[in-house]
Amino acid sequence: MPPSSRKHATAVRVGIGGWNYAPWRETFYPPDLPQIRELEYASRQVTAIEINSTYYGTQKPATFAKWREQTPDGFVFALKASRYATNRRVLAEAGESVRRFVGSGIAELGDKLGPIVWQFAPTKVFDAEDFAAFLELLPEKVDGRPLRHVLEVRHPSFADAGYLALARRHGAATVFTDSGEFPSMADLTGDFVYARLMASRASLKTGYRAAELDAWAGRARAWARGAEPDDLPRVEPARPGGAARDVFVFFINGAKERAPAAAQALLARLASGDSA
C-alpha cells in the first residue's frame, strides 16, 4: 500500500464513538427523540463518528448504505477494522480477514467513508518483519475509492524509529492518544492525523477543562496546516513544516457520557478561532 497521492482540501473533523449509548439519552439526546433517529441527530451535532461494531462483527452492505443516507453531506465515518485481522499471533496470515472486512460493503458509505482503524492488542509486540507483511495486505482502494489506514498500536515496543519508518513507507497514520495506558506518539506517519482522546473526567461537564480544550484546538489547527505540535510526546524530533493534513479527533472512552459535550466544545472553539 503506497502513500496516498490524493489531492483534497483539508478539514478538521471532531466526533465521538458510536451513537447508541444509553447515558447519552440523559446528557445529549433530546428527551423525546426516538432511538431510531439517534444517528440522524448525532451526525448533525458532530462532524465524524467512529464505528466500533465493525470490530466485533460483519455489517451488511445495506447497513452501511442506511448510515450514509441518515447523515448529512460532509459527514465522515471512521471504521474500526475486524478484530479477526489484528488479534492474531501471525499478522502476515491476516489476508483473508482483511479482504473479508474491506469487501463487506464499506464502499456503500461513499464519500462518507473515512479512515479505517486497525487496532492491535496491548500485548502485541512490534515485529518488523511480520508487521511489514501485514501492511502489505492493506488495500489501496475498494471499488475504486481510495482507502486511508490508521494503526492503533498499543504496546511500548512500537515507540521505535523502525516502526515509524515502516508506517511512513506504507502511508499509514498512527493513532495519537492522551491515555496513560498506551504509547502516546505524536510522530506523523501518514498524510492525515488521527487522535483518540481518552482522558475525559465525569466531574467536568465537557470532560476536559476549558484550557485543555483550547490547547487541543490549537494542536488540531497546527496539524491541519502541516505543523507538528511541540508539546506532545514523540519518538523522533518534530519535523519543520510539512503538507496540510486532514485531522480527525475523537473523544473515546474515559467518561464516555461527556464525549458529545467535549466534541461540541472543541468544534465551537475551532469555529470561533479560540485556541491556545
In a domain, 6, yes or no: no
Average pLDDT over residues 257-275: 91
Mean pLDDT over all residues of the chain?
A: 94
Whether 204 is covered by a domain: the verdict is: yes
Asked if residue 156 belongs to a domain, the reply is yes
Q: What is the pLDDT of residues 185-238, one digit of tens each?
A: 999 999 999 999 999 999 999 999 999 999 999 999 999 999 999 899 999 998
Q: What is the pTM of this model?
A: 0.94
Give the CATH number of the domain where residue 49 resides. 3.20.20.410
3 falls within a domain = no
Q: Which amino acid type is present at position 205? A: K
Q: How many Cα atoms sit within 13 Å of 142 on the Cβ side?
A: 22
What pLDDT score does 230 carry?
Answer: 87
How far is residue 260 CA from its own chain's centroid? 16
Residue 5 inside a domain? The answer is: no
**pLDDT number for residue 168:** 97
DSSP-based three-state secondary structure for 12: strand
Work out how many domains the chain is built from and give that number. Answer: 1
Residue 160 inside a domain? The answer is: yes
Alpha helices in the chain (DSSP H): 24-27, 38-42, 53-56, 61-70, 83-86, 95-102, 128-137, 161-169, 210-224, 259-272
pLDDT of the residue at 63? 98
pLDDT at 10: 56
pLDDT digits (tens, 9 = 90+) for 10-38: 589 999 999 999 999 999 999 999 999 99
Domain span at 195: 12-272
Looking at the DSSP assignment, which residues form a beta bridge with residue 118?
Answer: 151
Q: How confident is the model at residue 274 (pLDDT cuts 50, 70, 90)?
A: low
pLDDT in the model for residue 240: 76
Q: What is the pLDDT of residue 265?
A: 98
With 0-12 CB in 10 A as exposed, 13-18 as middle and 19+ as buried, what is 46? Answer: buried
- Is residue 63 in a domain? yes
Residue 109 lies in a domain: yes
- Name the more confident of 274 and 129: 129
Task: Name the pLDDT band for 180 (thresholds 50, 70, 90).
Answer: confident
The predicted pLDDT at position 16 comes to 98
Could you report the per-residue pLDDT of 73-95, keeping only the tens digit for each? Answer: 999 999 999 999 999 999 999 99
pLDDT value of position 272: 87
Share of the chain above pLDDT 90, in %: 90
